[in-house]
Amino acid sequence: MKLETKAVHWGDRRRKAAAFTPTSTPIYASSSYLYNSMEQLDRVLGREEEGASYARYDNPTRAALEELVRELEGGAGAVACSSGMAALHLAVLASLVDRPRRVLAAAALYGSTTNMLMTVFGAIGVEATFVDICDFAAVEEAIAKVKPGAIVMETISNPLLRVGELDKIAQAARAAGAVLIVDNTFATPLLVRPLTLGAGVTVHSATKYLAGHGDVLGGVVVADKENFEPITALARTLGPVMSPFESYLTMRGIKTLPLRFERQCGNACKVASWLASHSAVERVYFTGDPAHPDAAAIQRLFPRNLYGAMVSFEIKGARRQEVFRFMDRLKMIVCGTSLGDVHTMTLYPAIASHRELSPKRRQQLGINDNLIRLSIGIEAAEDIVADLEQAFEN
C-alpha cells in the first residue's frame, strides 16, 4: 500500500463497536475507562492486553493517530505529544537514559531546539557540541571525539534549507552506539523517511504539514524497535501527550497531506525560480536549486521532482526596517509564526524562529538581517508571485 493510500485509511476503523464501525475515528474525550472485570483492567494496566486505561497512558483517538504516523514513517511505534518541542524533548531525554549524556547536534537548527539543548539539557549536565552536519568528514571526526549518546539534526535545516547526508550519518551513529534523532518536519514522510535510512528516532511538529491547517499545536515522535520502549515509558510517566481533539484534527489533516504537499512543492519551484530572477533579491535558498551546496545528497535522498515547500531569500541591501516594510506590504501572504499551512506564510527568522540566538550567532550561521523565510501554500502560484511582486514595487 502506497503512502498516499495509507494517509487516507490507516488508523481509522481500528476501534470497532459491537454492531457498527465508524468510518472516521471518534474523539474520545475521557480521562479514564471502564472494563467488565478487574482481571481485564489488570491486564490492560500491565500492558498485557491492548486497551485504554488512563488518558496519560493512552487514548483511542490519539492511538489511531500514532498508528497512522508510525506507519507513514516506517517505525515500530509513535507517541503524539502536546507540541513539537515536547516531542523533541522526549526523544532526546529517552535517548540518553542509558547512554552517555552527550549530544552532538547540527549547528544549523531551529532556534528553540538549540536553546533547549544548551539551557534545559545543559542544566542537568548534558554536554551539547555543534557541528556542520553537511560536512560528513567533520561529523565523523566529531563523533569520534565527542562520543555522543545522541545526534540531533533536521532533514532540511531551518531556515537556510541545508540537507545533510542522513543515511551516512545514521550509519556512523549506529557504529558509535549513538541514537540519530531527526526532525523531519520540513520534509515530511513524503520526501524522506529517516527511520528507513537508519535513524533511530524521527520527530515532527504536527502543527505544521501533518495537520496542515493552522489549527493544531502538537508533535509526534516515532522510533524504531530499539528506541521506542524508553520513549513510551517516559511518556507514560511525564504525560506530554496530545489531546484527543487535536489528535483528531491532525489525523484529519494527514488525509490530504499528499495532495497538499505535492501542490506546495510545485508552487515552491515556481516561486523560487521567480525570486531568483528578481533584481531586488540577493540570494534564494531552495532545495530544488541545481546549484544547491547539498545537491548530491538531495538527489540521492529525495523523490524525483519533489524538493519541499520552503523557500528562503535575501533582499539586496535590506536592513530590519526595510524587511519589515516589505512584509507589511504583503496583502495575501500571511505574516505568521509557523509554516506548513494551506496558505502561504512568511516569517522573519531574526525575530521569530531564531530570536533566541544572539545576533553574533545568527551571523555565524548565515542568518542575515535581510533573510526572509517563505512557507509556500496551495494557492495559485501566480497569485503568490503577484503578491510578492507588488510588495517589492510599492
Q: Is pLDDT above 70 for 17?
A: no
What is the set of domains in the chain, with CATH numbers?
3-254 (3.40.640.10), 257-393 (3.90.1150.10)
Query: How many other C-beta atoms are found inside a 10 Å radius of the C-beta of residue 119?
Result: 11
Dist. CA 222–CA 383, nearest whole Å? 37
Tell me if residue 318 falls in helix, strand or coil. coil
Point out the residues that are catalytic: 56, 110, 183, 208
Omega before residue 159 within 30° of 0, cis: yes
Please state the rounded mean pLDDT for residues 69-96. 98
DSSP characters over 247-269: HHHHHHHHTTHHHHHHHHHHHHH
Q: What predicted TM-score, i.e. pTM, was given to this entire model?
A: 0.95
Q: Is pLDDT above 90 for 350?
A: no
In 170-249, beta strands by DSSP E: 179-183, 201-205, 219-223
Distances (CA, A) of 299 to 3, 189, 292, 393: 20, 16, 11, 36
Q: Which three cell numbers stand for residue 349?
A: 527568522
Please state the rounded mean pLDDT for residues 164-178. 98
Query: How many other C-beta atoms are found inside a 10 Å radius of the C-beta of residue 216?
Result: 24
pLDDT digits (tens, 9 = 90+) for 363-390: 888 899 999 999 999 999 999 999 999 9
pLDDT digits (tens, 9 = 90+) for 242-271: 999 999 999 999 999 999 999 999 999 999
At 315, which helix (H) or strand (E)?
strand 310-315
Q: Is pLDDT above 80 for 81?
A: yes
Single-letter residue type at 78: A
Q: Which three cell numbers stand for residue 116?
A: 533547549
What is the structure's pLDDT at 363? 84
Taking a C-beta distance cutoff of 8 angstroms, is the pair 321, 376 a contact? no
Please state the rounded mean pLDDT for residues 81-91. 98
Taking a C-beta distance cutoff of 8 angstroms, is the pair 375, 265 a contact? no
Sign of CA dihedral 267, 268, 269, 273: positive
What is the structure's pLDDT at 394? 78
Q: What are phi and psi of 79, to 5 degrees?
A: -130, 120
At 77, which helix (H) or strand (E)?
strand 77-81
Greater confidence, 135 or 52? 135
What is the structure's pLDDT at 285? 98
pLDDT tier, 15 (very low <50, low <70, confident <90, very high otherwise): low
Dist. CA 320–CA 57, nearest whole Å? 46
DSSP characters over 137-185: HHHHHHHHHH--SEEEEESS-TTT-----HHHHHHHHHHTTPEEEEE-T
Taking a C-beta distance cutoff of 8 angstroms, is the pair 155, 194 a contact? yes
Mean pLDDT of the chain: 95
Dist. CA 194–CA 380, nearest whole Å? 31
pLDDT tier, 51 (very low <50, low <70, confident <90, very high otherwise): confident
Query: How many other C-beta atoms are found inside a 10 Å radius of the C-beta of residue 281?
Result: 18
pLDDT digits (tens, 9 = 90+) for 94-136: 999 999 999 999 999 999 999 999 999 999 999 999 999 999 9
Q: Which three cell numbers stand for residue 208?
A: 505544521
pLDDT digits (tens, 9 = 90+) for 268-284: 999 999 999 999 999 99
